Amino acid sequence: MNIFDELSWRGLVHQVSDADGVRKYLDAPGQTMYCGFDPTAESLHIGNLVPLLSLVRMLRAGHKPLFLLGGATGLIGDPSGKDKERELSDTAAVHARVARIKAQIEAFVERNTGVLPTVVNNYDWVKDMSAIELLRDVGKYFTVNWMLAKESVRGRIERDEVGISYTEFSYMILQGYDYYHLCKEYGCRLQIGGGDQWGNITTGCEFIRKKGAGEAYALTFPLITTASGKKFGKSEKGAIFMSASHTSPYAFYQFWINTEDADVARFLKYYTFLSQEEVAALAAEVERAPQERAAQKALAAATTIMVHGEDELKKVLAATEALFGKGDLRAIDHGTLAAALESAPARDYQFDALPDLPQLLVDLSLSPSKGQARKDIQAGAISINGQKVAEARNLTEDDFLGEVNATFGAFSVLRKGKKNYGLVRLG
C-alpha cells in the first residue's frame, strides 16, 4: 500500500495540497519529507506522537524522513493555535531542550525502526542570516495581505486586546524558509504537521514555487479529540509526556488503558502499527466483550513499548498484577511500584513512631475501628505487601519496600480484600 493511502485509511489525512501529487511523490522509493518539532517544553508529549509515528511510517516504507528541531523557530514563537503572545524563552534553555528532544527522537526512532534518524536543527542555517538577508531574500516574496489571511494571524488580529507582535507575525516566513532550505539541500518536497500548521506549511510551498524550485506539497493531520469532544492528550494532572521523568511509564500505560470504547479503534489506527485486519479484530472484541478491554490493553501495550520499551512494559504489567493480588510486591521494580501507587491513600510516619497494625488500618480508613481491624486481621482479609497477616502486630523494617533510613521513599502496602489498599510511608 502507498504510504499516503495507509495514512488515509488510518484517518490521518486532514488537509493535503494535492492528493494525487502526494500519492505519486510517495510512489517512488527514497523520497524525503519532514516535520518540525519546536522545543516549547522539556519533553515531547503524546500530542507529538502522530507526526513522530507518521515519519517513522515513512521510514519503514522506504523513504528518508527528516526530523526538524526548531532551535531557531523555538526562539521566536509560533502563533498557531495560541490566543495570546508566547513568553520568549531564554536562548540557553531552548538549546538545552533541543538537545533533550533530539535524544528522545533518536531513541524513539531507533527503537521502532532499528536505525538512527536524520535529525536537523534550523538554528544551524538561520543563526548566521542577517536582518537584511531575511528581508531581501525571504520577506520580499510574501505580501502582508497574503500573510494577514492566514488563520494563525487573522485570529489574533481580530482580538484587539491581544494582537500579534512582528516577531510572531514573521514566524511563518522562517518556517517557509526552512522548507526551502530542506528542499534545496535534501530534495525534500513534502512537509507534514498538525492541522494548525496548514498556513505555515503552505507558506513554504509558496516560497519554493516563487523561488523557481518546483512543486512542493503540504499534508496535515486532524486535531485529535475524544468521542466526547475533549482535546486528546491530557489527563487530570496535565499533559502526558514521553519522558519517563515527566510521566512515569506506569502512568503512561494507564492513560491508554483508560481509553473509552468509542475511541479505542480509532486510536489503534492513529497510534500503532497494527494492520487493518488486526484493528478490525480488536474492534470486534470491543463489541463482543467490552469488559475484557482487549483493545485497550493492545493499545496501551503497543504505545508503551514504542515510547519506553518492552522491559518497561513488563515492569508495568508486573506491578499491575501484583497490586491486584496476583504477585509479590517485593519482586516488583521499586520505581514502577511507587509510580503505580502515586494516587493511593497514604499516611506518613517516622519509623520509631509507627502505630500498631490495627491503628494503621484505621488511619488509612481500611477499617472503621481498631476492634473491626483486629477482626479483619483474624479473618485473613489483611495483607502487607501482598502477604496475608495473621496477627495484630507492629510493622518491622522487613515490612517496608525501599530504604527505611532514607529521607523519603520507603513504603508498605496494606490491603483489605482485593480492591482496598493504602500506603504507610516513612519520611
Position 63 scores a pLDDT of 98
Whether the CB-CB separation of 226 and 260 falls below 8 Å is answered with yes
Instruction: Report residue 44's pLDDT band, with 50, 70 and 90 as the boundaries.
Output: very high
If you average pLDDT over residues 206-214, what whole number do you get? 96
Position 84 scores a pLDDT of 81
Instruction: Report residue 93's pLDDT band, with 50, 70 and 90 as the boundaries.
Output: very high
Instruction: Report residue 373's pLDDT band, with 50, 70 and 90 as the boundaries.
Output: very high
Instruction: Report residue 211's pLDDT band, with 50, 70 and 90 as the boundaries.
Output: very high
Pairing of strands 420-426, 411-416: antiparallel
CATH of 3-221, one of 3.40.50.620, 3.40.50.300, 3.30.2320.80, 1.10.10.10: 3.40.50.620
| Alpha-carbon radius of gyration of the chain | 26
More confident residue, 270 or 411: 270
Q: How far apart are CA 183 and CA 368, in angstroms?
A: 70
**pLDDT tens sequence across 73-87:** 999 988 887 778 878
Residue percentage of the chain with pLDDT more than 90: 73
Position 308 scores a pLDDT of 97
Instruction: Report residue 407's pLDDT band, with 50, 70 and 90 as the boundaries.
Output: very low
Q: Indicate the annotated binding residues.
A: 34, 171, 175, 234
Q: Does 326 score more than 70 pLDDT? A: no
**Closest listed residue to residue 79, CA positions, set 131, 2, 148:** 148
If you average pLDDT over residues 271-277, what whole number do you get? 97
Q: How far apart are CA 109 and CA 63, in angstroms?
A: 14
Topology annotation, domain 234-340: Tyrosyl-Transfer RNA Synthetase (1.10.240)
Q: Indicate the annotated binding residues for ATP.
A: 234
Predicted model pTM: 0.86
Query: 346-426, which class in CATH?
Result: alpha beta
Give the mean pLDDT of the chain: 92
Q: Indicate the annotated binding residues for L-tyrosine.
A: 34, 171, 175
Position 236 scores a pLDDT of 66
Position 111 scores a pLDDT of 97
Burial class (CB in 10 A: 0-12, 13-18, 19+), 125: middle
If you average pLDDT over residues 296-324, what whole number do you get? 93
Helix (H, G, I), strand (E, B) or coil at 90: coil
Whether the CB-CB separation of 49 and 271 falls below 8 Å is answered with yes
- Please count the other Cβ atoms lying within 10 Å of the Cβ belonging to residue 228: 8
Residue with cell 513568553: 87
Residue 383: enclosing H or E segment and its boundaries?
A: strand 382-384
HEC sequence for the chain:
CCHHHHHHHCCCCCEECCHHHHHHHHHCCCCEEEEEECCCCCCCEHHHHHHHHHHHHHHHCCCEEEEEECCCHHHCCCCCCCCCCCCCCCHHHHHHHHHHHHHHHHHHHHHHHCCCCEEEECHHHHCCCCHHHHHHHHHHHCCHHHHHCCHHHHHHHCCCCCCCCHHHHCHHHHHHHHHHHHHHHHCCCEEEEEHHHHHHHHHHHHHHHHCCCCCCEEEEECCCECCCCCECCEECCEECECCCCCCCHHHHHHHHHCCCHHHHHHHHHHHCCCCHHHHHHHHHHHHHCHHHCHHHHHHHHHHHHHHHCHHHHHHHHHHHHHHCCCCCHHHCCHHHHHHHCCCCCEEEECHHHCCCHHHHHHHCCCCCCHHHHHHHHHCCCEEECCEECCCCCCCCHHHCECCCCCCCCCEEEEEECCCEEEEEEEC
Instruction: Report residue 419's pLDDT band, with 50, 70 and 90 as the boundaries.
Output: confident
296-330 exposure pattern, b = at least 16 Cβ within 10 A, e = fewer: bbbbbbbbbbbbbeeebbebbbbbbebbeeebebe
**pLDDT tens sequence across 343-356:** 778 899 998 899 99
Instruction: Report residue 331's pLDDT band, with 50, 70 and 90 as the boundaries.
Output: confident
Q: Indicate the domain borders of the chain.
A: 3-221, 234-340, 346-426
- Please count the other Cβ atoms lying within 10 Å of the Cβ belonging to residue 72: 22
Position 327 scores a pLDDT of 65
More confident residue, 305 or 87: 305
Position 272 scores a pLDDT of 98
**pLDDT tens sequence across 242-270:** 999 999 999 999 999 999 999 999 999 99
Position 201 scores a pLDDT of 96
Of 68-77, 362-371, 411-420, which range is least confident? 411-420
